[in-house]
Structure 1
Amino acid sequence: VILPITCLSVFATTSLLVPRDSLGERLAITLSMVLASLAFRYTFIERVPVVSYLTLMDKIILLNFFMLALLLAADISFLFLDGGSDAGEVATRKLEIRQDLEVSLATAFFLLEFVTAVTIAICLKYAFEVNRQWLLEDESAQSIARKFGWKLRKRSSSNRGLVGESSLSAPEGLTLEDLHRKHSESGAGDEEGSGGQRGGGEVMSQAEAESASSAQKATGRRGGVVLGVDALAKRERRWFTAQQSSAQVVPDGPGQES
C-alpha cells in the first residue's frame, strides 16, 4: 500500500516537465495522480486489518497526499505568474520567479521523500532488533515460568502505576504457600550466605536490593514490563513473609490495630 502511493506521488512531479504554456495539462496530471491515490487507498484500506489510527502507513499516506496538494497549489499559483499579458521587465521577473518556484518545489519534494524513506528504513531496522530482543527475553521468562509451574499475567495500569507489569500467580490447585515452599526448595542453594531472609520489620538485604534495582531497571527498558522472574518471586516471598508476621501480632488494646 505504501509503495504504490509513494510512486504515484513521485509520478505527479512529472507535471513540472510539461511546458509552462500548458498549465491545463499540468493540472490534469496532478489531479489524475490525486484521484488515483484516493481510489487506491479506499480500495485497499478495506482489505487490511482494522488497526488504530495514525499508524506508520497512515502517516506516509497523509504525507503523500500533502505533497500532492502542494503540487496542485503550485500549479494553480503558476497561473498568476504566466506573464503573457505583461511586457518587458515585469514578464521576465514573473518567469524567473516561476522557474525558481518549480526548482524549489521539485527539490523540496525529492528531499522530503528521500529523508522520509531513510527514516522509515532506520526505524524499521531498530524496531526489528528491539522486537527480537524482547521476544528472546519473553521466551526466557516463559521457560522459567514453565519450569516452576508459574503463570504470567498482566496487571492493570492502576497497580502501582506500572502499565502491563507482569506478575506471578500460583497454578490451579496450589496456594501461595505452596508456591513459596516450592521456590524456596528450588532456590535454597542460590541463597546460601546471602542473608536474604527478613521478617516483617527487618531491612531488605543487599542481594534483594540489587535484584529489586535490576528489576526496576528492566521495567524502565521494557516500558513497564518486568522481565526478572526471580525478582518477582522474591517480592512475592517477601509479601507472604510479611503476611505471616503480621498475622502473629496481637493487638495491645481495643482501640489499637495490629
Structure 2
Amino acid sequence: MGTTKYSVIVAEDERLLLDHLAEKIEACAPDFEVAGKAQTGDEAYRLVKEHNPDLLITDIRMPVMNGIELLKKVYNHCPLTKFIIISGYSDFEYAQSAIRLHVSEYLLKPVDPEELALALGNIRKQYQIEQKAYEDIFNESMTRNSPEQIAATLRDYLVQNYNMDINLNLIAGSMHYSPSYLTKIFQQQYQMSPLKFITQMRLSQAKHYLSHNPELSVKQVSEMIGYQDQGYFSRLFKKNTGVSPLDWRNR
C-alpha cells in the first residue's frame, strides 16, 4: 500500500506569500498535496466545496470573508476537514475564536518551516489515529464479503454513529477501496449516498426530539444529532421539511 496522501487548500491574500507557503508545505511534508490556492475567503470556500480537502490552511485576515467566517462555513460543509490558522501577534481575539472552532494548529507569521513541519506532523498523527479506529471495524478482510454485505455493515455503523463526525475517506481507505466505490455500492443497495443517509437519520431523530422532548432547546437538539451550528441545522431542517424546527414543534 502506498503512502497516504492528504489534500490541502491554502488561503492567503498576498500572492507571493501564498505561493511560498504552498511550496513550503510540499517541501517539508510531501504527503500533503496542495489541491488549490485562494486569495479571498469566498474563493477558498468554493475550493473546499469542490475538493473536500483533508486540511485547510488559512490566514485569519482575508478579504471578502475573513478566516473565522471561512472556518465556520467550512466546518458546516466539511466537518472532518482539519484547520491550521496563520496570523500575526495582534490577532489574539481571533485566535480564541479559532480554538472554539476546533482549529488544530495556530502558526505565527512569518511561517517557520520547522514549525510548519511540526504542525503538519500533528495533523498526520490525528488522521492516523482516526484511521486505526476505523480499521478495527472496516478492514481489508472485509473485501472478501459481497458488496451487499459491505454496504450493510456500513449502514449499521452509520445508524449507530449518525451523530458523530464520520470520515468516509478513512473508512474506504481501511478496506483499500476508493471513497467513490464505497459510495457506489452503498447507493446501489439503499438508493442514496452515505452522506444523504446520515442527513436523513439526523433529521428523523431531530423530528422525534422536537415532537417528544419539549424540554430540549433547538440548539440542544441540533448538537445532539451532530450539528454544532444551530443556524445551519435550522436552514437544513426547513429545506427538507418546509418548516422551521420551532414550527415543527408547535404544529
**What TM bracket, shorter-length normalisation?**
under 0.3
Q: Which has the larger radius of gyration?
A: 1
Higher share in helix? 1
Higher share in strand? 2
